Structure 1
Amino acid sequence: MKTSQQISTNRIVYALAWVLLLWACNSDEQHYTTDAPEPLPVKSDLSRFDNGERVMMQAFYWDVEPRFEWWTTLTGKIEDWAASGIDRIWLPVATKGQSGEYSMGYDPSDYFDFGEFDQHGTVPTRFGTRAQLETLIREAHQNGLEVIADIVLNHNSGGGEEFNPYRNKNTYTHFDTTHGNASGKFDRSYKDFHPNSLHDHDEEALFFEEQDLCHHQPRVQEWLWKGENSIAHYYKDHMKFDGWRFDYVKGFGPWVVKAWNDEVGGFSVGEYWDGNAPDLAQWVEDSGSRAFDFACFYKLDEALDRQKDLRVLSGDMLRKIYPDKAVTFVSNHDTEKDENPENNISVTNKMLAYAYILTHDGYPTIFYSDFENTNYRTGLRALIRIHNSIASGDIEILYQGEKEYIMKRHGSEDNPGLILYMNIGTSNRQHTVSSNWKNTKLVDYAGRTNAWLITDDQGQVTIEAPAHNFAVWSVSEE
């Protein structure tokens, strides 16, 4: 328990720090004289505390522009991203879709046309040519980044019309070299879609009723992952992709993802769009794959936007159940274009949400449009450095109220850890907490405040966070 004398001493030291800071800012020479009572503490080089953790970049947004140049645009950013602490880039669906030059790839037609066949009105995909994609992948690998392919296994588009006896009508389920499959690989007919001779639908919900792939058909399995020339093997062995982001995994059984990963391995994350953490955990258990933590996303949206109550963050999240399987995020290509405010986090609260995911456990994803936004870039770079260094050790919630959330990462013998202070109130706030550091100067590594603090001989300290903002406190340079 902190004594009144200790609290008073702490406040005096804190006040002195602010006086010194203001004096320095108003000084013509902007530095302290040698006889200053206390030199201002400086931040440590966080590379000293490299914890081995990194961050994934979602390297696209919906309807990227300019068309045909996206692979080249990304190639020019790889070196900077690698230096910023990114270790994987998640690319959009890289093959030809029914919408041709306007397709974002989620209407897949030819799984093997990476921008080299003239079909659907174009040779290149919206993103460019196969040669440009291969250049991007090589550049990423040379800079130590893995490349994640977006895989759509639930539905197909862009086939030719044929009579479908299982529906007693014509359906667009005829895929061959002249009907949406110019590569000549994985030709398909109505027999490969639902309903068929095996069953009417997969274990899970349907998406496109007429072109919903049947994953139980042996030849479909052979072309998707089992065969030497399957999509899985071709993408890994020929295109050199390192892992997979599986689209709309509610559209088929989790055994499909498990079978794919058992066959070719690599990083894997599924889009199981559900805010219920136990459901996400069940899918993770059944598939063996990571999953995007929609439960965390919706709790952040609720806490910051809808309820404006940080106590909501005590709710269930995948990262609290399986931290090593949770891929956390603040925004993506779908949420950013969703007009429902409950499906996206507001611009004013994005950095608070990023502060949360980049200091807690789970594997964070940064959205391209956020990182390339000059309003966020500096702050995101700082948070990524924090994540890759001092966001380490067990998590302890020190305080959680309507407007304040304070969390401690305990670090380790060689890593100091951190204290995150989120404040969604309309004024600066302070709170006295117990740290792991005794008689130590603290600074905010997130760069949201220039204040500095000193812990007492019991490790207690009165930390602060600016109004509607956050701070990430840790030890200063010795």
Structure 2
Amino acid sequence: MKKTHFLLSLVALGFINSCQNIDEIAVENQKQQEVHNKTVNVTNHDGRPFSTGIPVNAKFVAGPGGSVLMQGFYWGVPDGGNWWNTIKGKITDWSNAGIGAVWLPPASKAQNGPYSMGYDPTDYYDFGNYNQNGTIETRFGSKTELEALITKAHAENMQVYADIVINHNSGGQSEANPYTGTNTWTNFTGVASGKFPRSYNDFYKNAYGNNDEGAFGGFPDLCHANPNVQDWLWGRDDSVGKYYKNVMKFDGWRFDYVKGFGPWVVNTWNANVGGFSVGELWDSNVNTLEWWANNANSSVFDFAAYYKMDEAFDNGNLNVLNDDMMWKRNPFKAVTFVANHDTDIIYNKMLAYAYILTHEGYPTIFYRDYEEWLSKERLNNLIWIHNNKATGTTSILYTDNDEYVARRNGYNGNPGLVVYINNSSTWQERWVETSWSNQQIKDFTGHSNWYPTTQSDKWVKIQCPPNSYSVWSLNQ
């Protein structure tokens, strides 16, 4: 959810305008970044193109390195009901590039109707097929268009993850509330779908207590302790989770603002519904991230790595990449990222993408980075490297303020790789210990024209251009 730290309840247009102002600042920053991130042709020095992972008319097939997730939206995508069609039109290219899943914005009808980004949910079963909150379609389109998008993704062997907002609701009618002694906007008995009707006892404070772990922005705070709420979220055959999975055919979940409720909520959802899940726990403390992931039985976004990358690549201190991160604690529960719809603070993004796409964890590509702001050719090359070479555990070989070298140790016959990141203004060279004896290697990014052969003791000298990266593996 967009973190604007409200101290007032939602005023629809004011809410959207304030968030769009934040987005405009990010756009201006990225325009400046475009000058910095020039497109470089990815070619061999004998004229042959390096593989960027885009075969002709290929469906996504997971490689030895796993998969890559695309965040298929940004804050303030064009309104008018065309976004589902826009994403549908990109699915084949994303699949061809080696992207295995797409994360969509909250898909159901929200209070701000045709202008809402979905984080103020009213009716979880209205995907743009009921006339309420001033519109039939959502900001993103109709239910039919959403279903067509999901069908297209599945035809390309891609998964689709739904953004699930279950901390709070918005858009209810006013009703007398005996627990507050006032009227509250907690009457959702008239939602157009007729499913998951709610009243004051489904929100804090109520018969189950005064509050749970956290509230957000003055919205009515959903009470997960109430059996009626549990039943409608994950228990019933037509619960929100099971409807999304079995009827709409979503494959997984990105849970919004999980600081607002206990990790048992996500754990119970996953046990009853299934599918991939990742939580947005906005916290740089790796102990907190690991605690939540274990108790939620879920992946979690690696905010520890996110802030370390900002310090490393933007502040000239690559030594901090030795610090602890969620992907180091448990790579199978770490979703790494460089930017998203909420936060976009890293300037040297290509170095950050080189980091997450060669390291452990489940890397995420941000829509605007891929489609608008950075070199798609360079990102496709890194995606190919991730899917085909980034295997095995990680060994950090060297760090200083400007240089970082790490080795993926390979797995199940795949040779792994060595990644060299150089944040200085000059070419750098360094002797490193690889996993390979007496074998020729090459830089799969095309940044270096060296084809060195490793010594019998597995050592070799590699190089890296200024403010860039190289990725080395067996020349095969």
Residue number among 309, 324, 327 corresponding to 1:316 in the alignment: 324
How far 1:42 sits from its partner (Å)? 8.0
Are 1:199 and 2:209 an aligned pair?
A: yes
How far 1:119 sits from its partner (Å)? 1.3
Aligned pairs (5 A) from 1:324-473? 324-336=332-344, 344-346=345-347, 349-373=348-372, 375-412=374-411, 414-473=413-472
Residue number among 189, 199, 203 corresponding to 1:189 in the alignment: 199
What per-residue deviation string (whole Å, max 9, x for no partner) do you get for residues 127-178 of structure 1?
000000000011111111111111001001111111222112121111133x
- 154-163 or 46-55: bigger deviation: 46-55
Name the SS for the 1:80 alignment partner.
helix
Aligned to 1:64: 77
How far 1:272 sits from its partner (Å)? 0.7
Change (3 A) 1:192 1:413: closer
> Is the 2:53–2:97 contact (alpha carbons within 8 Å) kept by the matching residues of 1?
no
Distance, in Å, in 1 between the alignment partners of 2:132 and 2:155 is: 32
Q: TM-score, normalised by structure 2?
A: 0.86
Are 1:55 and 2:68 an aligned pair?
A: yes
Q: From the CA coordinates, give the structure whose radius of gyration is larger.
A: 1
> Is the 2:418–2:472 contact (alpha carbons within 8 Å) kept by the matching residues of 1?
yes
Once superposed, what is the RMSD of the aligned Cα atoms? Answer: 2.2
> Is the 1:56–1:365 contact (alpha carbons within 8 Å) kept by the matching residues of 2?
yes
Distance, in Å, in 2 between the alignment partners of 1:431 and 1:405 is: 10
> Is the 2:302–2:327 contact (alpha carbons within 8 Å) kept by the matching residues of 1?
yes
Name the SS for the 2:460 alignment partner.
strand
- 162-171 or 403-412: bigger deviation: 162-171
Aligned pairs (5 A) from 1:37-186? 50-51=63-64, 53-177=66-190, 181-186=191-196
Are 1:242 and 2:251 an aligned pair?
A: yes
How many pairs were matched up?
A: 428
Change (3 A) 1:60 1:45: closer
Among all aligned residue pairs of Structure 1 and Structure 2, give the percentage whose two residues are the same amino acid: 50
> Is the 2:79–2:115 contact (alpha carbons within 8 Å) kept by the matching residues of 1?
no
> Is the 1:433–1:463 contact (alpha carbons within 8 Å) kept by the matching residues of 2?
yes
Name the SS for the 2:346 alignment partner.
coil
Distance, in Å, in 2 between the alignment partners of 1:375 and 1:250 is: 32
Structure 1 letter corresponding to 2:91: I
Distance, in Å, in 1 between the alignment partners of 2:68 and 2:436 is: 28
Name the SS for the 1:86 alignment partner.
coil
Are 1:281 and 2:290 an aligned pair?
A: yes
Name the SS for the 2:389 alignment partner.
coil
Change (3 A) 1:49 1:212: closer
Distance, in Å, in 1 between the alignment partners of 2:318 and 2:423 is: 8
How far 1:52 sits from its partner (Å)? 5.3
Distance, in Å, in 1 between the alignment partners of 2:459 and 2:53 is: 24
> Is the 1:393–1:410 contact (alpha carbons within 8 Å) kept by the matching residues of 2?
yes
> Is the 1:43–1:443 contact (alpha carbons within 8 Å) kept by the matching residues of 2?
no
How far 1:476 sits from its partner (Å)? 1.4
Change (3 A) 1:452 1:384: same
> Is the 2:187–2:198 contact (alpha carbons within 8 Å) kept by the matching residues of 1?
yes
Distance, in Å, in 2 between the alignment partners of 1:101 and 1:206 is: 25
Distance, in Å, in 1 between the alignment partners of 2:239 and 2:411 is: 45
Aligned to 1:13: none
Name the SS for the 2:193 alignment partner.
coil
> Is the 1:433–1:461 contact (alpha carbons within 8 Å) kept by the matching residues of 2?
yes
Distance, in Å, in 2 between the alignment partners of 1:399 and 1:46 is: 32
What per-residue deviation string (whole Å, max 9, x for no partner) do you get for residues 181-207 of structure 1?
2111111111111100110011x1222
Distance, in Å, in 2 between the alignment partners of 1:357 and 1:101 is: 35
Structure 2 letter corresponding to 1:398: L
Change (3 A) 1:43 1:161: closer
Distance, in Å, in 1 between the alignment partners of 2:193 and 2:151 is: 23
Distance, in Å, in 1 between the alignment partners of 2:49 and 2:245 is: 49
Distance, in Å, in 1 between the alignment partners of 2:304 and 2:209 is: 32
Aligned to 2:36: none
Structure 2 letter corresponding to 1:182: A
Distance, in Å, in 2 between the alignment partners of 1:219 and 1:475 is: 58
Name the SS for the 2:321 alignment partner.
helix
Change (3 A) 1:281 1:44: closer
Q: TM-score, normalised by structure 1?
A: 0.86
> Is the 1:68–1:124 contact (alpha carbons within 8 Å) kept by the matching residues of 2?
yes
Structure 2 letter corresponding to 1:314: N
Change (3 A) 1:255 1:43: closer
How far 1:66 sits from its partner (Å)? 4.8
Change (3 A) 1:410 1:121: same
Name the SS for the 2:222 alignment partner.
coil
Distance, in Å, in 2 between the alignment partners of 1:195 and 1:109 is: 19
Name the SS for the 2:385 alignment partner.
helix
